[in-house]
Structure 1
Amino acid sequence: MSNKVIQAIYNDDDVLLHAVKKVKAEKHHIEEIFTPFPVHGLDKAMGLEHTRLAICSFIFGCVGISVAATMMYYMMIVDWPQNIGGKPSFSFIENLPTFIPIMFEMTVFFAAHLMVITFYMRSRLWPFKEAENPDVRTTDDHFLMEIALHGNEKELTALLEETGAVEVIVSEKH
């Protein structure tokens, strides 16, 4: 198995999008695409699956509302019940309207914070991680498509130049 990759650099997002469609039509596997900003339709053109982060967000929200209900029940009913403003604290159901803002806030808090942690873990972004960007120009105004080579260097180079690549580089995979 080869460790070589071919990197095609583009200077326009529309040209990149058409190039991805053409490369996928030729049955080549695109390893990665680096862009300075999100390109609408690129995920569909690459054939990427839909994300399951929304399911995680719903689960994290359920955990948040459960923690909030348990916390309020323990604090206000079990541990230290108080008669505040004529409202007896002997039943969770009787006090539910006053607990709704807290449950909402805890749901949002848990969903948001746990989603950030999940996103970083899923993307393998953690503190002190080395950058994996092969060309610094992709953080400014260029787009890079990376394809693994399997003995088809000349054919793939010609295809990428035909699709409008301004530069084609063959390098070792990091």
Structure 2
Amino acid sequence: MASTKIHAIYTDDDILMQAVKDTRAKHYHIEEVFTPFPVHGLDKAMGLPHTRLAVTSFLYGLVGLTVAILMMNFIMIEDWPQNIGGKPSFSFLENLPAFIPIMFELTVFFAAHLMVITFYLRSRLWPFKKAENPDVRTTDDLFLMEVLVENNNIEEMAQFFKNTGALEVNLINK
């Protein structure tokens, strides 16, 4: 199914922010915004929901902590208890002060590595994937707002984006 989009190109991030706010007020559907650098507050201006990545990071950290506790209990207490430096090997709680650095490191390790994997899967960044950037100038110095036309008047939308300060307004049929 073909969809028609308008690409409005801006030269300044402040002009882009105001254009995003005006576009949302006009009830046009912003598909995506491409910027050469992160623009503070753009996600809120676009109306994007809050991310749940912090919750997943916490859960991944708990998985790492659980693996660390189970691994150290099995290796150092149950399977092969050893007297190292006169420290007791009778229970996990007696050795807890020595185990804290290992638990911390594995918590951070699991959280960091699983978050990277989650980020790549969520962003659909597969190995050898082609870039989906519609205009290469957005990697240098321009900002692009991609808006769906849907059932709106194309000429009216183009004039609206020109009035918001767009340098170029291009109609894209895909």
Q: Between Structure 1 and Structure 2, how many residues are aligned? A: 173
2:111 corresponding residue in structure 1: 111
* 1:172 equivalent in alignment to 2:173: yes
The 3-state SS of whatever aligns with 2:147 is: strand
CA distance in 2, matches of 1:76, 1:150: 64
Identity %: 68
Pairwise CA RMSD: 1.0
Q: Is the aligned partner of 1:30 residue 2:30? A: yes
Q: Deviations over 1:81-119 (max 9, x none)?
A: 001111121100100000000000000000000001101
Q: Which residue of 2 aligns with 1:9?
A: 9
What's the TM-score, normalizing by structure 1? Answer: 0.97
Gaps spanning 5+ residues in structure 2: where? none
Tell me the alpha carbon deviations over residues 10-32 of structure 1, each in whole angstroms, 9 at most, x when there is no partner.
01000000000001000101000
The one-character-per-residue Cα deviations of 1:113-136 (angstroms, maximum 9, x if unpaired) are 000110111111111111110000
- CA–CA separation in structure 2 for the residues paired with 1:2 and 1:123: 23
- Per the normalisation by structure 2, the TM-score is 0.97
CA distance in 2, matches of 1:28, 1:149: 8
Once residues 15 and 53 of structure 1 are traced to their aligned partners in structure 2, the CA distance between those partners, rounded to angstroms, is 30
**2:124 pairs with 1:134:** no
Q: Tell whether the 8 Å contact from 1:2 to 1:150 is kept in structure 2 after alignment.
A: no
Return the alpha-carbon distance in structure 1 between the equivalents of residues 98 and 69 of structure 2: 12
Matches within 5 A, 1:53-132: 53-132=53-132
Q: For 2:149, give the aligned amino acid.
A: L
The aligned residue for residue 158 of structure 2 is 157
8 A contact 1:9–1:142 mirrored in 2: yes
Query: Which whole-Å CA distance do the structure 2 matches of 1:86 and 1:132 have between them?
Result: 60
Structure 1 residues not aligned, in runs of 5+:
none
**Greater than 6 Å deviation, 4+ residue runs:** none
